[in-house]
Amino acid sequence: MTVTTNLKQLYEIDDHLWLLENTELLKQQKFKELDLENLIEELESLARKDKATVKSLFVISTIKQARCLFYRDFDFILWFTPLKSVIRIMFFMASRVLYIFLEKKRG
């Protein structure tokens, strides 16, 4: 129990070191020693950030597509390549958010 207490204190002091310690405990399969409370909080926070990122990328993509409709041939080539990257990232992030959502539904 002291390991968990120490991890909770470490979380307040140095979150990077806390993450490394929890990762090592996971690798060693020492599940009882994990700081589950803060670990769950961090995972939920990560899911919210991913969802916000997907939303932001969707807005950027929509704006760029609308711009294409209004300024068809003028500078299409200049921004089309970055648009492809945004779409790729958007689909990657959406798949992660969908995976987390489905895991919550199942779990």
Distance from the Cα of residue 67 to its chain's centroid: 28
Up-side HSE of residue 46: CA atoms within 13 Å toward CB?
Answer: 10
The answer, as to whether pTM is greater than 0.85, is: no
Going from the first residue of the chain to its last (107 residues), give the mean pLDDT of each consecutive group of 10, the final group possibly shorter. Answer: 73 89 92 89 85 82 73 57 71 78 77
pLDDT of residue 20: 92
pLDDT of residue 24: 93
Contact in structure between 57 and 93 (CB atoms under 8 Å): yes
Token pair of 2, please?
Answer: 């002291």
How far is 9 from 2, CA to CA, in rounded Å? 10
How far is 38 from 32, CA to CA, in rounded Å? 14
